[in-house]
Amino acid sequence: MNALSFLDGTVDAIRNLGHYAASTVSPRLRLGVTGLSRSGKTVFTTALVHHLLASVAMPVFRASAEGRIRKARLDDQPDDTVPRFPFEEHMASLAEPERQWPESTRRIAELRVSIDYERAAGWRSGPSTLALDIVDYPGEWLLDLALLDKSFAEWSRETVASSRRPERAGIAGPWQQALKRDPAGAVGEADIGQLAATFTDYLKALRAGPEAVATTPPGRFLMPGDLAGSPALTFAPLDLPPGFVAPPRSLASQMERRYEAYKARVVRPFFREHFARLDRQIVLVDVLASLDAGPAALAELETALDQVLLAFRAGRNSFLSSVFSPRIDKVLFAATKADHLHRADHQRLEAILKLLVDRSMRRTQGAGGTVGTVALAAIRATREATVREDGENLAAIVGTPAAGEEIDGQIFDGETEAAIFPGELPDNPETVFSGAVPSGALRFPRFRPPRRARDHGGRLAPLPHIRLDRALEFLLGDRLA
């Protein structure tokens, strides 16, 4: 260990000891909310805060069901250098007349909710307050943590090899052509920029392609934020021969220097300042999109989820681990958009998710951590109905398709409701990898957010959901006991 690493470790230990001492006096919990693109992170965080602030009775969330939550309120920002999660803006976008889903998570954001509650009966009974710090961040950033233990040559070999898989041949074609250059040759800034841009286009094509998820780091190439155009985000893997040693000022040495800068200036600060401080974590997963894309997309999603859980330092915490190597003691994987299915298929959706994370779950549980799964809709956009078609009763869902959505040849205007039979999931989850659900066989149109009714006093009803209370009980229940 070099002197800088030792100093970093000492600073981290002192900071962690301070957090541990502060949490003992004033209880707090840092909850990470993440997931790959389009999984519903922003919607989940908005719904979670909404239900806490509104003091909505939630049957499975025991502190709420038992009436022990006295009040929840937004509090001062926990980190002054981190953007605040724009809860109020997102709630406004969900309201009439816009009824639009909030914009997706593209950067890290935080929000603190202070929960005043009564402890359950026992020697600790009485009033208390839990400071819940919610950290919302893109799941693609998680995949970058694997780079910390990889050299530029290792990352290049893995990335180039995966791009040569038969199913990626068409997508990777332009980048493979760009790779046909001498890594030992001298290059200018324009050449480096062009190669990095071609690689970025390949990453974007992977996300938009049949695999439906982006699992190839660097994640910031897809969500650069204020780092766009910087040298730390202008590099690419190379096709390096075995045993290659990069000459000074060569293409390979330039790319390697920028790759190391990316790890040092982007990935490691995210890990130290945010990720390593989390206590609990929920990972939102759009299983339905991958399921509809076919077995290859599901296999890619399974790999991504395994990489995500490897990034977590999950396990049971002791005093020493809390100071020197804090662990995430609970991780919840949530299959989102359960409202796109009839409730008869919800258990099947959760079973498919369990299959995807089974290997990761067993590994984490072996380290003393707790991993759970749930199928949910943080905000329910549909209701259930039965429709008769060709003399058969079908379990359907009813909602308002977004403007421009096409179903059976009909293009919707964003105001007209539709009853839709989305299809059925298989009873045996293992069959999804053998094509039991043909690509395109399921129908999952985009629905607008639900209309909220008013009671006789003019008050808006809370946002409807599916199993959000179960997720809250798993993540927070023991800390509000």
Give Cβ neighbours of residue 26 (< 8 Å, ≥ 6 apart).
Answer: 129, 131
CA angle 202, 232, 263 (to 5 degrees): 95
**Separation of alpha carbons 218 and 140, rounded Å:** 8
Residues 262 and 232 in one domain: yes
Residues 201 and 310 in one domain: no
At residue 307, does pLDDT exceed 90?
no
- Whether 396 maps to a domain, the answer reads no
**Separation of alpha carbons 270 and 141, rounded Å:** 9
At residue 300, does pLDDT exceed 50?
yes
At residue 83, does pLDDT exceed 90?
yes
Instruction: Count how many domains the chain has.
Output: 2
The whole-model pTM stands at 0.88
Percent of the chain having pLDDT more than 90?
Answer: 57
Q: Where are the beta strands (DSSP E) in 252-400?
A: 280-285, 330-335, 370-375, 383-389, 392-399
Residues 282 and 306 in one domain: yes
Residues 249 and 302 in one domain: no
Count of other CB atoms within 10 angstroms of residue 85: 24
- Helix (H) or strand (E) holding 30, with range, is strand 28-35
- 133-171 pLDDT, tens per residue? 999 998 888 888 889 989 999 999 999 999 998 888 888
Residues 299 and 176 in one domain: no
Helix, strand, coil in percent for the chain, rounding step 5: 45, 20, 35
Residues 52 and 14 in one domain: yes
Final residue of a structural domain among 247, 269, 291: 269
- Whether 50 maps to a domain, the answer reads yes
**Separation of alpha carbons 140 and 82, rounded Å:** 18
31 is in which domain, residue-wise? 3-137+274-380+467-480
- Whether 426 maps to a domain, the answer reads no
Lowest mean pLDDT among 177-186, 222-231, 392-401, 472-481: 222-231
- Whether 73 maps to a domain, the answer reads yes
At residue 277, does pLDDT exceed 80?
yes
Residues 72 and 165 in one domain: no
